[in-house]
Copies of this chain bind each other. A is one copy, B any other.
Amino acid sequence: MATQPQPQQPASTYSNYQHFLITTPAPFVAHVEINRPAKLNAFHEAMWLELRSVFRQLSSDPDVRAVVLSGAGDRAFTAGLDVMAAAGGDGENGDGARKAARLRRHIAEFQECISAVERCEKPVICVMHGISIGLAIDISCCADVRVCAKDTRFAVKEVDIGLAADIGTLARLPKAVGSQSWVKDVCLTARDFGAAEALAVGFVSQVHESKGAALAAAVETARFIASKSPVAVQGTKELLNHSRDHTVEDNLRYTGVWNAAALQTDDLTKALTSGLQKRKPTFSKL
């Protein structure tokens, strides 16, 4: 145990964020909380810009090997976009083409900020509870594993405010679950659905009695993942994400090239030896 690198408290290097609280509940595990509970964790622009910064930092932080993402407070993971903050409009003039150019750039940057959760090289476990609508779905679709509390109220809410979801839900949700009849149903009707339904269709893979229980389970899973070879874990995330958007053949070719470098690691021997010796291996930073 003496040679185990002591995970630094990430909180110190993550203390200057305004809208997110980052702590270290277990070695090599970061816990990111959306921290605007008084407003049901609803997002305004400064928040999604900051979300990108947080996950970029986590992605390259050698002291972090797994991430848990949740919302602060009892009532909501997030109620989605803060419509009041967004309603101001851009105040600029111009014809339809010029408005479109501004809107397109705006959407592209918004998408890119949320996608930072998916691009983070470390696995992200998303814990949902209470109100989890609109942007909540976009964000959680970027996570690797989704769990929730029994009280969660989900909705792909965008149709109800007059638009097609454009920050990732329509791109990722159909590829996150199997039943497309169900996907079309919830996206076209904007109806609520609960934890049991989310589990049945495979959107979440665990339901827990309470937010607390869900969070504890997520941290435990993150701790467990963080105890394994980071070369193996981060490679697995990368190759699974590549798989979604490529053919089997393309993915096999990419995998071969990836592992041609990744297998040149001491983690293989460490994992094997400690397995035989029934002790916990210690892996170098990555």
Nearest residue (CB) in B for A231 is B97
Q: CB distance B265 to A170 under 8 Å?
A: no
Q: Given A236-B165, A248-B245 in contact, is the A103-B260 Cβ separation under 8 Å?
A: yes
Q: Are B252 and A168 in contact (CB under 8 A)?
A: yes
Taking a contact as CB atoms under 8 Å apart, the answer to whether A261 and B256 are in contact is no
Q: Which 8 A-B pairs have the closest CB atoms?
A: A178-B178, A179-B202, A96-B264, A164-B235, A97-B265, A162-B271, A100-B261, A261-B261
Q: Once the chains bind, are B97 and A262 in contact (CB under 8 Å)?
A: yes
Q: Which B residues touch A160, using CB under 8 A?
A: 228, 271, 275
The yes or no answer to A204 lying at the interface (CB within 8 A) is yes
User: Are A97 and B267 touching (Cβ within 8 A)?
Assistant: yes
The proximity string for A residues 153-167 relative to B, scoring 1 for CB distances below 8 Å and 0 otherwise, is: 000001111111110
Which residues from B are CB-within-8-Å of A203?
A: 179, 181
Interface size class of A (residues with CB under 8 A): 35 or more
A165 to B252 Cα, complex, angstroms: 10
| A145 within 8 A of partner (CB) | yes
A260 near B261 with CB under 8 A, answer yes
Q: Is A53 an interface residue (CB 8 A)?
A: no
CA of A104 to CA of B160 in the docked complex: distance in angstroms? 24
Residues in B whose Cβ lies below 8 Å from that of A180: 175-177, 202, 244
Shortest Cβ distance from A143 into chain B, in angstroms?
8
Is A286 an interface residue, CB under 8 A from the partner?
yes
Do A258 and B145 have beta carbons less than 8 Å apart?
Answer: no
Nearest CB in chain B: distance from A70 CB, A: 15
